[in-house]
Amino acid sequence: MVSAIILAFNRKEEALKTIGKLEELRQSLPFELEIIIVDNASKDGTSAAIKERHPDLKLISRSINNGIAGWNDGFAVAKHEYLLVLDDDSHVHSGLDKAIKRLEDDPTIGILGFETTDENLKLDVYLAEEDAWKDKQDVPGFIGCGAIIRKELYDKIGGFAEWIFVYTHEFEYAIRCWNAGYRVSFFAEGYVIHRVSKLNRSFKRLRIFGTRNELAIIYKYFDKDKSKFLFRIVMNNLKFIKREGLLSGYYVLQGVAEYFKLKKELTRTPVRQKIQDFYAANFWATKPILTNLKKRLNI
């Protein structure tokens, strides 16, 4: 019923821990759980370690790191109707059986996003507060280290966008999900623990790729008020200077420069106006600048 796809890159011990957690979990599940690992060209012996300790698992070893699109290799070979998306440093804590029942009961849901916490079941400290959706059922995106995608949706719209490489792929995919007639929902009854390995993470990369990709999503999928939303994205990202320092602003501007390079390669495919309006009203970076500023300053 469920195929779990883990994307691994140079975090061997974390990947092995996630596999172990999944193998423990599937002993208690009332349905089959397939485990697939995509090694995204790791140089730390990840594939060799997995082959040695888990020779029965499906392992795909890539020769080139293609970022978040590496998950697509796992999606393509998954045999079950639900795709559980995990990072190499995240695992399901509870609620997978309830999440599947929710999807079985409501075929309009294309993506179901889990609540993501740290190991103490506190809100994932690595993720910005704006990205944690509480009190909402229908959402403009999901947390990529813990979500379930209906295989039927993948068959219709394909996998994650290769042009994104890293960060915000969840929002790009969610736009296509909504446009295909499915919903993206937040599931507060299930928890994925994001252990947040410090390997391969930096706020520099987050600001550059995050800003670039958020701008590119608007350029590609919007045909109304593009300039307004592009401006809001830049300004709202610049507000991270308060938390991260002046370098954060420099990285945001680098992201803007990278966006102008990327847009030359993108084909514009605007989604339905209803979807544009929903995304603009609910995604934190496209909201009015003063609204977000007041939240940051606790006004």
128-187 pLDDT per residue, tens: 445 544 446 899 999 999 999 999 999 999 999 999 999 999 999 999 999 999 999 999
Residue 298 has pLDDT above 70, yes or no: no
Which has the closest alpha carbon to 254: 206, 286, 218, 222? 206
Inform me whether the pLDDT recorded for 188 exceeds 80. Answer: yes
What pLDDT, on the 0 to 100 scale, is given for residue 225?
92
For residue 271, the model assigns a pLDDT of 98
Verify that 106 and 219 share a domain, yes or no.
no
Residues 39 and 95 in one domain: yes
Those residues with Cβ within 8 angstroms of residue 59's Cβ, 6 or more apart along the chain or in another chain: 36, 37, 39, 47, 50, 51
- Does one domain contain both 189 and 210? no
For residue 297, is pLDDT > 90? no
Domain boundary among 135, 169, 194: 194
Within this chain, do residues 114 and 183 fall inside the same structural domain, yes or no? yes
- Could you tell me which residues come within 8 angstroms of residue 244 by beta carbon, excluding any fewer than 6 positions away? 203, 207
Q: How far apart are CA 296 and CA 30, in angstroms?
A: 44
Q: Which domain holds residue 236?
A: 203-296
Strand-pair partners of 6: 37, 86
pLDDT at 26: 94
From its phi and psi, is residue 9 left (phi > 0), alpha (psi between -120 and 50) or beta? beta
Side-chain half-sphere exposure of 65, counting CA atoms within 13 A: 11
Q: For the chain, how many structural domains are there in total? A: 2
pLDDT of residue 198: 62
User: Is it the case that residue 201 has pLDDT exceeding 90?
Assistant: no
> Which of the four pLDDT bands, split at 50, 70 and 90, describes residue 267?
very high
Same domain, 151 and 95: yes
Question: What is the average pLDDT value for the chain, to the nearest integer?
Answer: 92
* Among 25-29, 54-58, 119-123, the least confident range: 119-123
Task: Please give the average per-residue pLDDT across 187-208, as a whole number.
Answer: 84
Query: 148 and 7 in one domain?
Result: yes
Mean pLDDT lowest among 31-40, 272-281, 287-296:
287-296
Domain termination residue (choose one: 146, 161, 194):
194
Q: Mark whether 136 and 26 lie in a shared domain.
A: yes
Same domain, 151 and 182: yes
pLDDT in tens, 109-129: 999 999 988 777 666 544 444
Point out the domain boundary residue: 194, 214, 242.
194
The pLDDT, as a whole number, for residue 290 is 78
**What number is the average pLDDT over the span 35-55?**
97
- When pLDDT is averaged across residues 9-38 and rounded to a whole number, the result is 97
Task: Classify residue 219 as exposed, middle or buried by CB count within 10 Å of its CB (0-12, 13-18, 19+).
Answer: middle
Q: What is the CATH number of the domain that holds 113?
A: 3.90.550.10
27 and 116 housed in the same domain: yes
Q: What is the pLDDT of residue 299?
A: 45
Same domain, 10 and 66: yes
Predicted confidence (pLDDT) at residue 209 exceeds the cutoff of 50: yes
Q: Are residues 132 and 273 in the same domain?
A: no
| 90 and 185 share one domain | yes
